[in-house]
Chain A
Amino acid sequence: MLSKIIIFIAISFWLLIFYYSVLTTSGLIFRVRKENDVKNNLEEYPSVDILIPAHNEDKVLFETLDSMANLIYPGELKIYVLNDNSTDQTGDIADYFSKLYKNIFHVKVPPGFPKGKARVLNYGLSISEGEMVIVFDADNQPQPDAVLKLVTKTLENKRYAGAVGYVRTINMYKNFLTRMIGIEFLVFQLLMQCGRWQLFKLGSLTGTNMLVKRKVLKEIGGWDPYALAEDAELTMRITAKGYLLPIVPDSITWEQEPETYKVWLRQRTRWMLGNLYIVSKLIREKTLRRNANIVNAVQLISIYHLFVAMVLVSDIWFAMGILGRINVDYKIPLLIIWFESWWVYVVQLIASIVIDKEINVGNIIISMLMYFTYAQLWILLLIRAHLTQLKNRLQSKDSSTFIVWDKTVRFC
């Protein structure tokens, strides 16, 4: 019996690794093909509203708004700073820019419940009227052509509900952690996104540097205020309606990532809790289980649970491989299985740093170490998220109130 279980796990494990390898390769092919570059051939430019939710963001907001003011877009472009009851100098910075620029607006969001980005975005949606709605986080510095490329791509096809840009790490070289996050974003956030688009025509909104048409947002009822991962939740509902979300690697924004393990852990716990919420919503609501959402669901589960399962299985292979083999009927080459899974993981990481021109000796070494360091942290993360969810559920009888927004701390 044990033999069969182990063989089953080994085969499943390798199928998953195979899937990730195919995604990586498809992503690479997508990136190198010139016909995927966005060509600006628009004759008319639709009106665009940029929504920037901001709660105590005075460490980063000046640079963000400075970058927004530098955006090049020939059509009507309005930028709304949605000040969510900040107690620091966020308001002063927003005022400075709104006085200087006619198209930058400082909007004070009334207090309300539930707290969080989704509610603020819904408020932003209610006070703006542009045809296209773009969301940027308050720590983002988009490149001048980022918006134009998102709009151009969206208008290529009527089935496109919007477009998803690319998020790069602005503080990638700050320390060991930010380097690992930067590399992780390069592979999982972009390369595999491109791979999924190339293979399944499936894109996932990333929460920032993303465009959604206003009429689509109205059709699906805006953002779910209870979703902690509001971007992934919105993706599910958009996909269920049969719309597509193309990936635009040329539309680049630069974002700050956590510089300490504590902040990283809190941020990712929130993401993971948001992920669990969506999975449970997917199970509850039959209307969501349509179109490419099956792949989306696999993706959601694979990001955290399957990935952590892979890391755990891989750790076990390694221990077994080193100690000899386990007592089963079939002889399994555990050492080579472990080595190859590590190797495939490293190749995926290196592929992403090559394609995004971040290749250097330091990043190669870190890619080789990430399995032993960063990947192992995810086990801790998964346990923490499940414990937090259990604790929240036990403390609150109402399912709508156990979700608590936890804002990511910024760094100077």
Chain B
Amino acid sequence: MQFYDRLKISIIFLLQFIMFIIYLNFFAIEDFSIYLIFMVFIYISILIGGSLYGFVTLTMTTFAVAFWQVYTAWINGSRISFQITLILKQIMGIIFLILFWVMLSEITNITVENRKMKEKLKILERTDEITGALTKSELIERFKIIFTSMQRRNQSGYFVVLRWAGLNVKSRGKTYDSGSIARIIGQVCLNSIRRQYDLAGSLGNNTLLIVLQNTNLEGAQIVVGRIKENLKKEERINASVLLEELDFQIHPIPTNLDEAVEFINCIAGECGGIENVK
């Protein structure tokens, strides 16, 4: 549990304690006993079904208290001071219950959520959510490893760059990039490369970069052909239209690592675009 979580829970506990003390200072302990019973109900609900079950119990309790208050006030009189006392008791009692639920929910949820978030974060850090291809930082990291081993084995490799245009809607003064098209292209690329050897990375909304190791120009062209064929197999898209929109470029991987990384950065648009690649 993080320091912030520990602090939050201790503050909630402290507030709950303060609420209890204030209540006892102004009103009788007998009045508070009903809230203690409700507290047990909430605890049991959370124990059985989790935090949302506890919340359902809390909500039902809250409604029950509201209706009971109206009944009590109706039967016992309508003096303003009496009504205000009832309202104050209710506010303190309900706040006490809410704090109790929040504290228990926080404790039960924090551990589970933390674990889930960490797992998701790991995946998100590595892959682009839409295309399923690697993120730029992950691509560069993995490329560096591949590059070193390629140099050691004295092998050559190729970059394949895929780009496609968005739709310019003049009346809105905006160019839209289609996530659905990016997803399809990304998946087709991933299915068209040797996934244990090659890499596919997403460099923006409408650019993908494929890193092919231990291959020549002919091999790179074969991969491009395979991507085109696999696109044609996609049932829901008009492959001929999409292929017209797609721009394939094949570049040999530079022999110097810094130059190769700079190339990737340029394709990602960080040096004014692919046109400026040396």
B238/A99 in contact, CB under 8 A: yes
The chain A residue sitting closest to B241, CB to CB, is A99
User: Does A412 belong to the interface (CB within 8 Å)?
Assistant: yes
Q: Contacting A336 at CB < 8 Å: which of B86, B172, B181, B242?
A: B86
Cα separation A70 to B130 with both chains bound (whole Å): 10
Q: Contacting A339 at CB < 8 Å: which of B55, B87, B241, B245?
A: B87
In the complex, identify which listed stretch (B25-33, B67-75, B136-144, B256-264) lies at the interface while the others stay far away: B67-75
In the complex, identify which listed stretch (A20-28, A243-251, A257-265, A387-395) lies at the interface while the others stay far away: A20-28
User: Does B178 belong to the interface (CB within 8 Å)?
Assistant: yes
A331/B77 in contact, CB under 8 A: yes
User: Does A406 belong to the interface (CB within 8 Å)?
Assistant: no
The chain A residue sitting closest to B183, CB to CB, is A70
User: Does B235 belong to the interface (CB within 8 Å)?
Assistant: yes
The chain A residue sitting closest to B52, CB to CB, is A32
Counting chain A residues whose Cβ lies within 8 A of the other chain, the interface size class is: 35 or more
User: Known: A89-B169, A93-B167, A101-B236. Is A343-B78 also a contact (CB below 8 A)?
Assistant: no
Number of A-B residue pairs at CB separation under 8 A: 122
Give the shortest distance, in Å, between A319 (CB) and chain B (any CB).
Answer: 14
Give the shortest distance, in Å, between A104 (CB) and chain B (any CB).
Answer: 8
Cα separation A340 to B63 with both chains bound (whole Å): 9
Cβ of A25: which chain B residues have Cβ within 8 Å of it? 56, 59-60, 63
Cβ of A340: which chain B residues have Cβ within 8 Å of it? 66-67, 69-70
**Which B45-98 residues have C-beta < 8 A from chain A?**
49, 52-53, 55-56, 59-60, 62-63, 66-67, 69-70, 73-74, 77-78, 80, 82-84, 86-87, 90
A-B contact pairs, 13 of them (CB 8 A): A28-B55, A58-B172, A62-B178, A69-B236, A70-B183, A89-B169, A100-B237, A332-B74, A333-B82, A336-B69, A336-B73, A343-B90, A412-B172
- The chain A residues found within 8 Å of chain B, CB to CB, are 14, 18, 21, 24-25, 28-29, 31-32, 58-59, 62-63, 66-67, 69-70, 77, 88-89, 92-93, 96-97, 99-103, 321, 324-325, 331-337, 339-340, 343-344, 347, 351, 354-355, 412
- The chain B residues found within 8 Å of chain A, CB to CB, are 49, 52-53, 55-56, 59-60, 62-63, 66-67, 69-70, 73-74, 77-78, 80, 82-84, 86-87, 90, 167, 169-172, 176, 178-181, 183, 235-238, 241-242, 245
